[in-house]
Amino acid sequence: MTDETRPEEFSDKSKKDYSHIKGWGIARDSENDPTYPMKNRLPEDNEGYNWERPPLQPMDIEVLKSVERKNYPAVFGKTLPPSGLSGVIRRAAFRKSESSFGRWVPLILADRINMVEGIVDDLKHGVVPNFFKERGWKAEWKYNRQEFVIKSAVAVAVGAGLLSALLWSANKKPTNYH
């Protein structure tokens, strides 16, 4: 067997009827398979694929780059460059491999911290966030009311528990054993 595969190698030799399974055999027709031409490329087939890379987007902000890629991305977002504590965490995460938890867990944490930083920034500029609208709670209330009520009740219970624990520890008087 060679490294190259051919459509006939994937044919069903048992001739069983699987038509009752939705979507079965959808990719068996090589004329309707968008990846088929890419499976058996010969060196001469790649002629004509030489192209010049388009001009890159100007970099006038900090752009984080993976350690596994030598080039910067051709296109990147400019609306939210890394900043604050979330930016520090993102910079540290981008020093790790794309396949490590040491990259992705900090990036998720940085997203959550960035959300809080955005709320603080809004309040600093006199804008009160509309959480109900921004979090999609109207749609949640309309289409998934039972789950929304359960999630809200759990959030209120956890918040009340944390608040009462903080108040209890603040009001707890130190005892003197002398």
DSSP letters, 92-134, are HHTTS-TTSHHHHHHHHHHHHHHHHHHHHHHHHTT----HHHH
The predicted model scores a pTM of 0.54
pLDDT, position 112: 94
pLDDT, position 153: 96
On the CB side of 52, CA atoms within 13 Å amount to: 3
Q: How far apart are CA 147 and CA 153, in angstroms?
A: 10
pLDDT, position 32: 65
Q: What is the DSSP letter of 79?
A: S
pLDDT, position 76: 80
pLDDT, position 121: 93
- Asked whether 62 and 80 are in contact (CB, 8 A), the reply is no
- Spans in the chain with pLDDT lower than 70: 1-14, 26-51, 173-178
